[in-house]
Amino acid sequence: MDRLPPRVALAPRPRGVLGWAVAAQRNVLELIPEAALREPIISGRAGLRWHMVMDPGALRRVLKDRVEDYPKSVVTKLLLEPAIGNSMFIAEGAQWRWQRLAAAPAFAARHVEALAPVMTAAAEASAARIAQAPQPFDAHAEMVAATFDIISDVTFSGGESIDRDVVYRAFNGYIASVAQVSLLDVLGLPRWVPRPGRIFSGRVLRETRALADHAIAERARRGARLPPDLLDLLRAGVDPETGRSMNPSELRDNLLTFLVAGHETTALTLSWALYLCAFDPAVQACAAAEAQAAGPRITAAELPRLSYVQQVVQESLRLYPPAAFFSRTARSADTLCGRRIEPGDTVILPIYALHRHRLLWDNPDAFDPDRFAPGVQRDRFAFLPFGGGPRICIGASFALQEAAIILATLLARFDFALVPGRDPYPRMILTLRPEGGVWLRATPR
């Protein structure tokens, strides 16, 4: 089809200091210059020296070959530490390594597959809600509800209650008022200089941490369950090198990371996938036929028969990656794409631009799930919805299984149509969200 799904209007040229600060508050993706869709690397200065990297070989170097020389950026830590502490998403070096090793068994393939019944039940509950919802409905809000039901059930199957609305409201409030890049971040001022917007974030974050602390204490009192859920697996996790396990505060920080990232990113993927299926009825018809043939109930066992549905998920992640823009701070001198990198430079990985790069993808702004058909070859570091290297998202297989089960369940039962004049706009603060919601009309098949 000739029409293209919504895309961000990128900057015609790199921005100055004030332009960076304004764009970062409005939509982080507006920091990306249009030239990033054609060049392997772009450098500039906006207070700090920065380099945007879109070359797969250079990205492999940053994320895999020399990962220790490119830790999470200072700005990333300033934004996220107040909310998720020194969890494995933020931690570096030995502190990251032991947490990752301790948590890895919880995300082993056998455990992820064992959680599929929870995903199937949540998908069917979502379908029941959509069937009863006034039309049109906001698919993004519904996907948030469905994915939080899953992450809370697989984390707290022991009955400890954690209020979805409280957690989501707390982190939404944090993102809206606090977790935005400030002018002081752009100028590179040290972290001890107060950022005005972040001074008043304490109450909502304390409330959320208290919920997680209570759930952890309840589980310690009651003991582990059989089969174990995510909280049990994390409590039992041990670093095989040192024998160390997570203490309650480390458990809390990682649980909050999984609670938020574990539903937010998948909810966004599904929201954009449903929108794109409504945008292209031919793709939707093909995916729906496959889902109906695999049904009537979609479980992990049906995933091998859902290759096209999984291609739709992958193409949605390409066009609208939830983690569409992240950064590292160079620790040592290096050279990327012939460009000198100095210690302290900010190295930006604009995944949104990488996934739409003119030299890596044909007709990159178009929605085409066939890009991910079996046998299609591409550089591993040209497609990075979950990052890459040793710090690739630990929950990637969980998220992909969850997304395929929910999308197939819904497409098998409903035909989704766009609502004229209600197209979402991609806006990124911490994640790439559909501004205005994803309003669709669902008709039973």
Q: Could you tell me what percent of the chain has a pLDDT over 70? A: 85
Tell me the per-residue pLDDT of 117-148, one tens digit each, with 9 for 90 and over: 999 999 999 999 999 999 999 999 999 999 98
Residue 208 domain-assigned? yes
Is residue 147 among the annotated active site residues? no
Is residue 265 among the annotated active site residues? yes
Residue 380 domain-assigned? yes
What is the domain extent for residue 259? 17-444
Residue 5 domain-assigned? no
Residue 294 domain-assigned? yes
Handedness of CA 322, 324, 325, 330 (dihedral sign): positive
Q: Which of 326, 393, 398, 409 is catalytic?
A: 393
Q: How far is 320 from 77, CA to CA, in rounded Å?
A: 24
Residue 1 domain-assigned? no
Q: Which of 265, 329, 346, 431 is catalytic?
A: 265
Lowest-pLDDT range, 29-43, 111-125, 213-227, 379-393? 213-227
Q: Which of 137, 325, 386, 398 is catalytic?
A: 386
Higher pLDDT: 165 or 187? It is: 165
**Token pair of 340, please?**
């000198």
State residue 184's pLDDT score.
45
Is residue 393 among the annotated active site residues? yes
DSSP assignment of 5-17, as one string?
A: ------BSS---H
Residue 355 domain-assigned? yes
State residue 183's pLDDT score.
44
Lowest-pLDDT range, 79-93, 264-278, 282-296, 420-434? 79-93
State residue 418's pLDDT score.
97
Q: Which residues pair with 76 in a beta bridge?
A: none
**Token pair of 280, please?**
């292209």
237 pLDDT band (50/70/90 cuts)?
confident
Answer whether residue 180 shows pLDDT above 90: no
164-188: average pLDDT: 57
Q: Which residues pair with 341 in a beta bridge?
A: 334
203 pLDDT band (50/70/90 cuts)?
low
Residue 119 domain-assigned? yes
Please state the domain count of the chain.
Answer: 1
Helix (H) or strand (E) holding 81: helix 74-84
**Interaxial angle between packed helices 116-132 and 396-413, expressed in degrees from 0 to 180 and rounded to the nearest 10:** 40
Residues 6+ apart with CB under 8 A from 207: 166, 170
393 known ligand binder: yes
pTM: 0.91
221-246: average pLDDT: 80
Residue 73 domain-assigned? yes
Answer whether residue 195 shows pLDDT above 60: no
Tell me the per-residue pLDDT of 331-377, one tens digit each, with 9 for 90 and over: 999 999 999 999 999 899 999 999 999 999 999 999 999 999 999 99
CATH (domain of 221) = 1.10.630.10
Tell me the per-residue pLDDT of 55-77, one tens digit each, with 9 for 90 and over: 999 999 999 999 999 998 777 77
**Token pair of 336, please?**
């990327």
pLDDT, mean over the chain: 86
